[in-house]
Structure 1
Amino acid sequence: MVTLQLQDLGARYGQHMMISGVTTAAFSGGQVVAVVGPNAAGKSTLFKRMAGLIDGPGQVILHDSKKGAQGISYMPQGLNGSARLTVYESVLLARKQLAPRWVVEDDELKLVDDILAALGIGALSFRNLGELSGGQQQLVSIAQTLVREPEILLMDEPTSALDMHRQVQVLNFMRDLARERQVIVFIAIHDLNQALRFADQVLVIADGTAHGSGASHDVITEGMLRTVYKVQARIEQCSRGQRHILIDDIV
């Protein structure tokens, strides 16, 4: 089972440090990790550093990985691909970029078909990317990430443009994927109630560093909400053992 740990991780643009000192315990395959924090806290920068897209001090430590750094797949907020490509072409191209070859194998076509079907966008296969709504484009971006079959997924706000039904569908799918394939799924997300519902672990980024990490019920607390988000809130127990945040006021 793959594990990932961050050791004193930092990221810089030029000479300016954007995040620093991010250290966590090891995250394990099968877990969904919600990465939360205020706007501009450094969540996207952290993902880019973990994916090796920007430089900085510290280490991303992998154990029991079959693919090494190549097994880390980053999904940015924007959609990759020319607006003239069809949905199917853009997802297949994301797959072929792993090991460019002219020949397209039958199992690659089946993988694309299965992922599009699982995300409920098979009917969009031959629509051009430029014709899609923002929510549809976001689902295609998720498909482009999944088709790479990574060991570790870094998903930057994958549900931000989706309606409530699609949000729950995608988060359920990602949780099932993590458990069935023993993948570590990191999801940057603003909705803390969704984080409480779907995440096994939570990493809080605030002021360019880690404010805390661990099991969701240990990290998302009334004290954290007051300190990091500057809100007075209550966390109440709901049906099926779920916890829910109720905001009373700003601090």
Structure 2
Amino acid sequence: MVTLALRQVGASYGRTTVLSNVSIDMLQSGSLTAIIGPNAAGKSTLFKRIAGLISGPGLVQLSNAAGGDRTICYMPQDTGANAVLTVYESILLASKQGSGWRVHDDELFEIDAILKALRIENLAFRGLGELSGGQRQLVSLAQALVRKPEILLMDEPTSALDLHRQVEVLDFISRLARESGMIVLIALHDLNHVLRYCENTIVIADGEMAMSGSTATVITPEMLREVYRVSARIETCSRGQRFILVDGTA
């Protein structure tokens, strides 16, 4: 079990500050939190800062973590996949990060299970260079899951997927977080997906945290007007699910 909190976290590239003053209270095991905001707001930078890939002020606080390189796993937008490898080889390589190179049967069974869960068994022995953008995203997700992280950072993991696959992957991730106790932070542009799947939401705008809290309290017409510059309404369908209707730009 693990918890995550951020205290006045920021990040810089050289002398240029690109992110500042991000603070969130303790995120608990099994939670799914959205990171939202306009393009180039600083969402990817926040993920890199939490993952320890870049430095900056503030504290990223982990507690009750098992330790080691499997604690946090970052799934970037651009995977930079090695086209020489097959899908199966790339997932196996990801599973061996930070451990010895001897392969055990249980590791192969785990890879098979992940391929089956994501319904990409048919891609197992295809080269990464042959895949579509959506297929590469699913393989990248498999590479992250095989490492069994306690905290999973997902930067727009559904951007190249069709609607069916988007719902399928988000259903899977939501269920996995609950059942495994994993903390998942996910950057999404589809705010209706955020309303459906994420308990908490953090809004990043102009390199700073604009607001955070429960998704129901964060995603409001006022926030959409201020941050996204659209005039919108939050409606509730016959099944009780809240959704956004955009009337136009603000």
TM-score range, shorter chain: over 0.9
3-state secondary structure, aligned to 2:136: helix
Query: Structure 1: which amino acid aligns with 2:47?
Result: F
Aligned 8 A contact 1:51 1:69 in 2: no
| Equivalent residue, structure 1, for 2:217 | 218
Q: Cα offset for 1:81?
A: 3.2
| Equivalent residue, structure 1, for 2:48 | 48
- For residues 148-202 of structure 1, the C-alpha deviation after alignment (integer angstroms, 9 at most, x for no partner) is 1000000000000000000000000000010000001111000000000011110
3-state secondary structure, aligned to 1:25: strand
Identity across the alignment (%): 60
Aligned 8 A contact 1:87 1:124 in 2: yes
Aligned 8 A contact 2:10 2:56 in 1: yes
Q: Cα offset for 1:2?
A: 1.3
Structure 1: any 5+ residue segments left out of the alignment? Answer: none
Deviating more after overlay: 120-129 vs 78-87: 78-87
Query: Structure 1: which amino acid aligns with 2:158?
Result: T
Q: Cα offset for 1:70?
A: 4.3
3-state secondary structure, aligned to 1:197: helix
Q: Cα offset for 1:115?
A: 0.6
Aligned 8 A contact 1:98 1:148 in 2: no
Q: Cα offset for 1:26?
A: 1.1
Q: Cα offset for 1:102?
A: 2.8
Aligned-partner Cα distance in 1 for 2:23–2:92: 36
| Equivalent residue, structure 1, for 2:196 | 197
- For residues 118-162 of structure 1, the C-alpha deviation after alignment (integer angstroms, 9 at most, x for no partner) is 001011100000111111011000001111100000000000000
| Equivalent residue, structure 1, for 2:170 | 171
Aligned-partner Cα distance in 2 for 1:209–1:185: 21
| Equivalent residue, structure 1, for 2:140 | 141
| Equivalent residue, structure 1, for 2:17 | 17
Q: Cα offset for 1:79?
A: 2.3
Q: Cα offset for 1:112?
A: 0.7
Aligned 8 A contact 2:70 2:148 in 1: no
Could you say what the CA RMSD is over the residues aligned between the two structures, in angstroms?
1.0
- Describe how 1:111-150 pairs up with structure 2 within 5 A: 111-150=110-149
- For residues 64-114 of structure 1, the C-alpha deviation after alignment (integer angstroms, 9 at most, x for no partner) is 211266401000112243101100000000011131x23101111111111
Aligned-partner Cα distance in 1 for 2:22–2:31: 19
- Describe how 1:77-88 pairs up with structure 2 within 5 A: 77-88=77-88
Aligned-partner Cα distance in 2 for 1:196–1:20: 26
Aligned residues: 250
Query: Structure 2: which amino acid aligns with 1:96?
Result: K
Q: Taking structure 2 as the reference length, what is the TM-score of the superposition?
A: 0.98
Aligned 8 A contact 2:70 2:147 in 1: no
Structure 2: any 5+ residue segments left out of the alignment? Answer: none
